[in-house]
């Protein structure tokens, strides 16, 4: 099979290529930046023409290229996520099965009370750009499968992942003390999925019979989903067990505030006293509110059966890979004149 994988150096793309290779396939891999010594072809999708040798009849195109930053502006999201898909679609013929990686949060977006007018009711540029991309996928004349994951963590067996991003920000802010509070509903749901299970869904679609109609696959825990309090217990329990073995003091549990309390009462009073680093931390952590306080879990087609163990192994892998960060002494917030 002629298989093209975009975003091959990213979190999902790396795992997809690994699994395709293990099954005896040799996917053509492209990414914005090609890792040194790899077979990945460097192509700044959406900003420069496709290399001529990529213009061929593809049986399958797996599109994972996108930015997952929640702080993108509309223009940044267009350049980083929408433009690359448009460029990929120029290479997809009517006989190409397009497997597109989106996000499960579109199921709760577009009409959310926390939506931003700039993003048509979605909560941020990431969600908005993914909604536009799903519309573009709908215009593809060939077969199409959309895979929707939630927050992505490490593999089920060892917690490994190609790059620490997204939810791993929470780990770093906890051990550094920048997470002065955790904002969210204690009983709210927080959907996570291991990267290898997301890749399994992608690879199964890519190697299977192309669907006659567009198919949406959602990877999530559903009834097994963790609630925010339980998630925080697992994270801090894992970190502090490791720190105890290192002879380090435990990371204290930050207080938990509802989003309403934080935005209506606390943040307006303290914002002018925050340092630039604290202000950036507040902005980043604020993005987690909607993702760790969902009123109900998703309805999955691929069920994450043990998200608690996925989380434990992911935290353990992060600490083993970033021991200097995991050993930090949390510094309490100080007022800045």
Residues paired with 4 in a beta bridge: 28, 61
pLDDT tens digits, 172-205: 989 988 877 788 888 999 999 999 999 999 999 9
- pLDDT of 331: 82
Q: Give the Cα-Cα-Cα angle 91, 94, 99 (nearest 5 degrees).
A: 70
Reply yes or no on domain 3-148 having CATH 3.40.50.720: yes
Look at residue 257 and tell me whether its pLDDT is greater than 60.
Answer: yes
User: Two tokens at 61?
Assistant: 């195109």
User: pLDDT tens, 302-319?
Assistant: 999 999 999 999 999 999
What is the per-residue pLDDT for 139? 95
Confidence of residue 260 (pLDDT cuts 50, 70, 90): confident
> Which of 289, 138, 300 minimizes the C-alpha distance to 228?
289
Domain with CATH 3.40.50.720 in the chain: 3-148
Q: Are 161 and 311 in contact (CB under 8 A)?
A: no
């Amino acid at each position: 099979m002629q298989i093209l994988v975009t975003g091959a150096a990213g979190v999902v793309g790396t795992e997809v290529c690994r699994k395709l290779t293990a099954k005896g396939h040799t996917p053509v891999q492209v990414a914005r930046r090609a890792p040194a010594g790899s077979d990945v072809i460097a192509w700044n999708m959406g900003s420069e023409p496709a290399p001529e040798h990529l213009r061929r009849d593809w049986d399958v195109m797996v599109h994972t290229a996108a930015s997952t930053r929640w702080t993108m502006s509309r223009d940044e999201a267009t350049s980083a996520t929408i433009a690359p898909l448009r460029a990929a679609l120029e290479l997809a013929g009517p006989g190409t099965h397009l497997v597109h990686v989106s996000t499960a949060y579109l199921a709760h977006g577009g009409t959310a009370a926390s939506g931003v007018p700039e993003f048509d009711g979605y909560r941020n540029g990431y969600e908005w750009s993914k909604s536009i991309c799903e519309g573009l996928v709908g215009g593809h004349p060939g077969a199409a499968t959309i895979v929707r994951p939630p927050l992505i963590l490490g593999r089920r067996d060892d917690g490994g992942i190609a790059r620490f991003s997204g939810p791993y920000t929470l780990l770093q802010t906890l051990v550094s003390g920048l997470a002065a509070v955790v904002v969210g509903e204690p009983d709210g749901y927080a959907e996570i999925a291991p990267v290898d299970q997301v890749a399994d869904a992608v690879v199964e679609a890519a190697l299977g019979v192309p669907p006659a109609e567009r198919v949406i696959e959602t990877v999530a825990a559903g009834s097994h989903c963790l609630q925010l309090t339980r998630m925080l217990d697992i994270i801090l329990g894992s970190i502090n067990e490791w720190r105890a073995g290192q002879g380090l003091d435990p990371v204290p549990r930050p207080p938990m505030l509802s989003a309403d309390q934080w935005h209506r009462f606390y943040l307006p009073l303290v914002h002018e006293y925050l340092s630039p680093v604290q202000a950036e931390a507040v902005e980043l952590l604020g993005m987690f509110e909607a993702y760790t306080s969902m009123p109900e879990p998703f309805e999955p087609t691929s069920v994450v059966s043990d998200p608690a163990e996925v989380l434990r192994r992911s935290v353990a892998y992060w600490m083993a890979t970033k021991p200097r960060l995991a050993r930090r002494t949390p510094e309490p917030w100080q007022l800045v004149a």
